Amino acid sequence: MRIADPSLLVRATAAAVLAVVAFAGCSAVMPGARDKADQGSTSGPGPGVTADSVKVVFVGVDLRSTSSITGFRTADAGDGAKQAKALEAWVNANGGIAGRKMTAVYRNYEASDDSPAAEERLCNQITQDDKAFAVVLTGQFQANARPCYAQRRTLVLDATLVADDHDTFTRLSPYLWSASYPDYDEFVRAFLGSLDQQGYFAGENSAGVVAADTPPNRAAYERLAVPALQQLGVTPTVAWIDTTDLGTLNAGLNQAAVDFRAKGIDRVFFLGGARMAPFFLTVAAAQSFTARYALSSFDNPSFLVNNPSTIPREGLEGAVGIGFNPSQDVPDSVYGFPATDAERECIGIFAAAGERFATRENARVAFTYCDAVRLLKAGAQTLGPNLNAAGWSSAVHALGTTFVPATGFAGLLGPDRFAAANGYRAMAYDGGCTCFTYQGAEVPFAG
């Protein structure tokens, strides 16, 4: 195997190893995690709810240690604790949540310490020490996290770019929701359908798939991706990236590049998020492997273009995909900021507390916090004394198109829907601006 730049491979190896603790998921689950969550009662208050208050915990992920080791640059996301307090002030000045004052608690989580044990400790802290009614998760990729909160009857508003498929939402109902991102099943269908429409597979009969080895991602791949690719006449070669220990992620990424090159694969796309794309592109460049990539918001395109010293920009030439999260897809120069009423509302909430954002990317975490609180408030309006996960869930199902996430485009809620996002746009890498740009009109994930 020829190494084009040994120093690049060293950096790639360090980055890949850090990925396992900083970003990636794990296949371990807590006892009983495969069982359907206890639905709870629609009567009476839920945990963290008193006669006059409701506690909501906001998790922020500290990437400074990870960035210093990998060399990756991450745009400043502002003061998470200040953002939580801004939302608390806004809620309490506007009727509260089911007539109760919201008490916001901010918990900082060190990305470089991430592990199933660390996330269980965080779950214990939030559910037992904080006694929260709801938690807003950002950056929690371990598979044991969401079942832990559901088992404690704590509402999870998931703001992590992770593969929450419909089965996971249903199994953990009524406790797992996403106020900002789509159902993963809907995403996979839309992603592959859009790639076909963009001619990504034209003239190709094979493709490489770099996929996070998690139960939801495996299920979505087998149920949705494989049949769709077969219908397109494309045979996939999948590289399941096992992230259960410090060595397997690095080995998996390197082996994937070797296998794809040996098979002459010229198309590679990613499933499962967890920022595998930047690490893979770094490793692939070190091994002189090139391909035309397909990406999505799950792969954080802005992060890819913001790190040219680690992720060669030539590797992005010809890349296409779909985006549902402008703050991590495209620069403000190609999609004006702010662009929607929901964005403007959230910007106003934070500005009232002195928290301002130079760019949309700087607001990427704040917007997910804002979406979570706006959805909490919208679903609780008629609950009164019965503020609990089951009652709130029923109310949110009835919101229809009235809730629109600030993180994206259109919104859609209804029976059997647990993810609010319902809009995406095709996107492509533009070498002129060295950025991704949207192509064409917004498309709904669901009718």
Residue-level pLDDT at 66: 53
Residues in the chain with pLDDT values less than 50? 1-35
Q: Taking Cα atoms as reference points, which of 204, 208, 186 lies closest to residue 196?
A: 204
Residues 420/378, Cβ–Cβ less than 8 Å = no
Instruction: Quote the CA–CA distance of 420 and 405 in Å, as a whole number.
Output: 7
Amino acid at 14: A
Residues 190/137, Cβ–Cβ less than 8 Å = no
CA 103 to chain centre: 25
Residue 221's region, left for phi above 0, alpha for psi from -120 to 50, else beta, is alpha
DSSP 412-428: ---TT--B-B--EEEEE
Instruction: Quote the CA–CA distance of 82 and 369 in Å, as a whole number.
Output: 11
Residue-level pLDDT at 143: 83
Strand order in the sheet with 134-137: 101-110, 53-62, 134-137, 155-158, 176-177
Structure tokens at 187: 């995403």
Instruction: Quote the CA–CA distance of 296 and 314 in Å, as a whole number.
Output: 18
Residue-level pLDDT at 34: 38
Instruction: Quote the CA–CA distance of 166 and 170 in Å, as a whole number.
Output: 6
Residue-level pLDDT at 110: 77
Q: Read off the pLDDT of residues 84-105 as tens digits, 9 standing for 90 and up.
A: 999 999 999 999 999 999 999 9
Residues 119/144, Cβ–Cβ less than 8 Å = yes
Residues 327/371, Cβ–Cβ less than 8 Å = no
